[in-house]
Chain A
Amino acid sequence: MNSPLNRRWWEPYLWLLPSMLLISVFVIFPIIIVFKLSFSEISKAGVIGGYIGFQNYKDAVNLPAFKTVMLNTFWWVVSVVGSSTLLGFIIALVFNQKFKGRKIARAILVFPWATSLVIQASVWNYIIKYEYGSLNSVLLNLGVIKQAINWRSSYQIEFIWECGVGIFVTVPFVAFCVLSGLQSIDESYYEAATVDGAGFWDKLFKITLPMVRPQLTVSTVLNIIYVFNSFPIVYTMTKGAPAHKTDTMITYLYMLSFYERKKGPATALSVIGFLILCACSGLYMITVMRKEEEQ
């Protein structure tokens, strides 16, 4: 529609080349290795043996904790991605308003994102410690509670904390993605809509949402992937205890590989995770991109 007519057919590919090269060498190559490994025998120490067909996959699916871990992973991804997308969107809407101190507020919002996950997980682990955690300390010293509370009294609650920390670190990413979209929306749309008598919700669904859809798509797809593959939070806070009840797939396969030394099934599990991710995000991308094209 907009390309100069004299562009040669190979020109677009030339533009793609650097990116393509970088990804192929440094990411696709290791991925191929993983696929190869998943069909090979791997010893306890990690020495790679010969081809053994689908044995690793069979072992992986038959692991006793397989079902628990899959279910956990599902809830982990859905709750963290869902909540942080919603929260991040709301925060972006508010932080896009004009108010005093907006600059500072935005800088503060970047904090959780600017701190590595390992540290975030350690801090929250420290905060919710029953015996000396900061949360008990603050609430006691403010007089809100009269006795220290055991914030992690059951594994269900610990899992909820893990999801909470996941949401805490993911929200800024969504918020800034959406903000970057919001800032490119022209005021005149809203002005015109106001003249037409549109209310708050009309503007939200008819203007704002469609305009930030590309950013929302990017952040949601990437979040699904990042959250699915997120390792430090669960590993630092519970290591999957008790008995894998708080494990997600990625921490479980780490435990399998380095604690139980079942490296073959662990590799197969990672390929299974990859296929699930491909299916989910592929589906999401296809539907969203179709909508994008329709408009």
Chain B
Amino acid sequence: MKKTLALLLALIMMFSLTAQTAFADEPITLDVIICQYGPNTNDWFLGKGMDGSNFVEKFEAANPDIKLNLEVVSWNDVHQVVDTRIANNNAPDILNIDTFSEFVPDGLLMPVKDYCPEDLFNDFFPAFIAESVIDDTVWAVPDLASARALFYNVDLLENAGVEVPTTWAELEDACQAIIDYYNGDVYPWGVDMTTDEGQACFAYYAWGNGGGFVDADGNWALNTPENVEAVKYVISLVNNGFTNPNPATETRYDLQDMFSAGKLAMLLTTNQLPTYVSDKGGEVKMATAGIPANEGKTGSSVGVMDRVMAFKDDSAPDQAKRNEAIGKFLKFFYDPENYVGWVSMEGFLPAVNSAVEALVASDPSFGAWLDVLGTCQFYPAAKAEWATVRQGVTTVEQEALIGGDIQAGLDALQAEVAG
């Protein structure tokens, strides 16, 4: 018995040793962490999702002197993975994630100009690059973007005799009419105040009321009367029964599911919705409109972008060679031949000019979305306190849902980040 156990153990150990990645004598190895955007991400980078091959194989074939150690990590875990590696001085070489400002104060990132080839840098939309600047230095480049707008179910609105709302007051009327007509079987309006998306909810209504996260000078301005009114308004929508019943736990994807099943009439979400609905096998006649704003105010589209950044590695033997390798990676990634497939796969919008033509050719609706993208406002993600603000406004909204004081909550948050 004992012998067999020992044998078994030895076998298992041998197995696992062979399973371990050996450190080969490749000239240069890049550790890359990519976030999982959807069901196809993993397959595209590591499986067979890129014309029967994958990104890593193709890249290594084109650049035999560079080896990629690429990892696709779920959005749920990525911060944990990255932060743990940073704490152990083991940061990846290249990281694809949503925020970057927390890495800058510690001097972890390399300025983009150190590694990004000139022609590629000039290819990015300048407005996007401007969102990744701290102290006049560009720290990250956008990998893709999405624009948010109002999507509505054409049939549901038509039956109930409702016009598409453009102002907050019209929105309330429309919601009431839909409730009356469908006896509450259809939710008129989708609200997502979950821990991951509360900041978007804040942006939709604050920007639509002349408020926002920052003032004209770019300083935090969270407890303004406009913002308080905006949060009050969205809470009143929930309390009047115009929305999905559990906004604190129903994510945007839950809302999109309801929308694709015809259970939700209107929601604010990204331009990916049509792709999402058809992936889920739903059939909804949908159309888009601008995000409703308060009377006399102009609404603003909300843009969200994710970024690619490179970390410093002082232990690398040849810095120039490493920077060049990172540049080659970016070049290959943003090459329209590869990049167009990547962006359109999950229905995102591109971040470089060179991809636009091919994308518009493949799907004319991209053109309209790119126009929307041009007018979008983005989160102030370059500000150091962004993580706190993002969580803070979400907490204020969630507290207001259960009867908390909005003014007091925003005052406290303002004091914390600006004080």
Binding site for B on A (CB under 8 A): 42-48, 64, 129-132, 150, 152-153, 155, 158, 237-245, 255, 257-263
Contacts and interface: CB of A to CB of B under 8 A. Distances in A.
B80 interface: yes
B402 A155 contact: yes
Given A43-B105, A130-B245, A243 B388 contact: no
A129 B401 CA distance: 19
Given A45-B106, A132-B257, A243-B402, A259 B86 contact: no
Contacts of B404: 243
9 nearest A-B residue pairs (beta carbon): A242-B398, A46-B83, A44-B102, A242-B248, A243-B398, A241-B248, A243-B399, A239-B195, A258-B79
B62 interface: no
Contacts of B399: 242-243
Nearest to B102: A44
Given A242-B248, A243-B395, A255-B391, A45 B86 contact: yes
Main secondary structure of the interface of A (DSSP, over half): loop
A45 B391 CA distance: 16
B17 interface: no
6 contacts: A43-B105, A47-B86, A130-B246, A239-B195, A239-B196, A241-B194
B102 A238 contact: no
Given A131-B263, A132-B257, A243-B395, A46 B401 contact: no
A43 B257 CA distance: 38
A113 B123 CA distance: 54
Contacts of B412: 64
A147 B261 CA distance: 18
Contacts of B86: 45-47
A260 B391 contact: yes
B108 interface: yes
A241 B257 contact: no
Contact of A150 (B106, B193, B245, B388): B245
Main secondary structure of the interface of B (DSSP, over half): helix
A118 B4 CA distance: 34
B162 interface: no
A16 to B, nearest CB: 19
A158 B257 contact: no
A149 to B, nearest CB: 11
B395 A244 contact: yes
Nearest to A49: B106
Contacts of B390: 259
A152 B388 contact: no
Interface in B220-279: 245-246, 248-249, 254, 257-258, 261, 263
A47 B404 CA distance: 35
B103 interface: yes
Given A46-B87, A239-B196, A261 B246 contact: no
A69 to B, nearest CB: 13
A47 B254 CA distance: 36
Given A46-B86, A47-B87, A153-B246, A242 B108 contact: no
Contacts of A259: 79, 195, 387, 390-391
Contacts of A46: 83-84, 86-87
B101 to A, nearest CB: 8
Contacts of B108: 45, 47
Given A46-B83, A260-B388, 11 more contacts: A45-B102, A45-B103, A45-B105, A155-B248, A239-B194, A242-B193, A245-B398, A258-B79, A259-B387, A260-B387, A261-B102
Contact of B195 (A48, A150, A152, A255): A255
Interface string B74-114: 00000110011011000000000000001101101000000
Contacts of B83: 45-46, 257-258, 263
Nearest to A262: B388
B402 A242 contact: yes
Contacts of B395: 243-244
Contact of B105 (A44, A131, A153, A243): A44
Contact of A258 (B80, B103, B193): B80
Given A45-B106, A243-B399, A238 B249 contact: yes
B201 to A, nearest CB: 12
Contact of B246 (A150, A255, A260): A150
Interface in B344-398: 384, 387-388, 390-391, 395-396, 398
Nearest to A259: B391
A270 to B, nearest CB: 14
